[in-house]
Chain A
Amino acid sequence: DAKTTQPPSMDCAEGRAANLPCNHSTISGNEYVYWYRQIHSQGPQYIIHGLKNNETNEMASLIITEDRKSSTLILPHATLRDTAVYYCIVRPGGSNYKLTFGKGTLLTVNP
């Protein structure tokens, strides 16, 4: 699986947009970009995923660069409850949905 690189920590003011970057320069054509988050000691929570097009759902937006070597997760209006570790994971296409977690980004939303 392609390796991802994320900043270890970021801060964001409550109500502002949080933009979390991820580098996956070795991604191959059939690999998807997934984002999960883990609020302290809870189970990881699925946020969004994409292949090459930008995606949006009720939680977030995912922007993938044209060369697919990096992506950005956007939380449009961060709240205190969005404080969590955010994981960017590259997963091959196919029926095996196994995730390999790397080092994520601890996002702290401040009042």
Chain B
Amino acid sequence: AAGVIQSPRHLIKEKRETATLKCYPIPRHDTVYWYQQGPGQDPQFLISFYEKMQSDKGSIPDRFSAQQFSDYHSELNMSSLELGDSALYFCASSLNSPLHFGNGTRLTVT
């Protein structure tokens, strides 16, 4: 069965650079969730979208923004990167169902 696809798998950026993470949900899933997991931490909810509209917001920094497109894929844009942004970023999708997670993007900020 098709799963949630995230790209890239790994990303290395320098401080103050920008990064864009992409998420392709399971076909027909209309809701996308973004999570951040720092080293040794548990996943923290950032933001979610339902039918291309922001549906909920968590601890997402103002330097980050996200959107969901007409094909339901989503992008997380991160600017002015800081060392503390180094983490695993997971996307999950849902269609009135338990969340299905992708395998994440590992962002390293140097």
Total chain A interface residues with beta-carbon distance under 8 A: 20
Q: A96-B55, A97-B31 are in contact. Are A44 and B43 (CB under 8 A)?
A: yes
Q: Are B98 and A49 closer than 8 Å at their CB atoms?
A: yes
The majority secondary structure among interface residues of chain A is loop
Q: A44-B43, A102-B42 are in contact. Are A97 and B90 (CB under 8 A)?
A: no
| Chain B residue contacts of A45, Cβ below 8 A | 101
Q: How far is the CA of A67 from the CA of B88 in the complex (A)?
A: 37
Q: How far is the CA of A38 from the CA of B103 in the complex (A)?
A: 10
Within 8 Å of chain B (Cβ to Cβ): is A81? no
Within 8 Å of chain A (Cβ to Cβ): is B104? yes
Q: Are A34 and B48 closer than 8 Å at their CB atoms?
A: no
Q: A96-B55, A98-B33 are in contact. Are A43 and B98 (CB under 8 A)?
A: no
Q: Are A97 and B42 closer than 8 Å at their CB atoms?
A: no
Q: A99 CB to closest chain B CB, in angstroms?
A: 6
The majority secondary structure among interface residues of chain B is strand
Tell me the number of A-to-B contacts counted with CB atoms below 8 Å. Answer: 54
Q: Are B42 and A43 closer than 8 Å at their CB atoms?
A: no
| Chain A residue contacts of B99, Cβ below 8 A | 44, 46, 97, 99
Q: Are A46 and B100 closer than 8 Å at their CB atoms?
A: yes
Interface string of B67-105 (1 = CB under 8 A from A): 000000000000000000000101010101111111110
Q: Are A34 and B45 closer than 8 Å at their CB atoms?
A: no
- Closest residue of B by beta carbon distance from A35: B98
Q: Are B97 and A97 closer than 8 Å at their CB atoms?
A: yes
Q: A65 CB to closest chain B CB, in angstroms?
A: 22
Within 8 Å of chain A (Cβ to Cβ): is B107? no
A-B contact pairs, 22 of them (CB 8 A): A34-B98, A42-B103, A43-B90, A43-B92, A43-B101, A43-B103, A44-B43, A46-B98, A49-B98, A95-B96, A97-B33, A97-B94, A97-B97, A97-B99, A98-B33, A98-B48, A98-B58, A101-B35, A101-B43, A101-B44, A103-B42, A104-B42
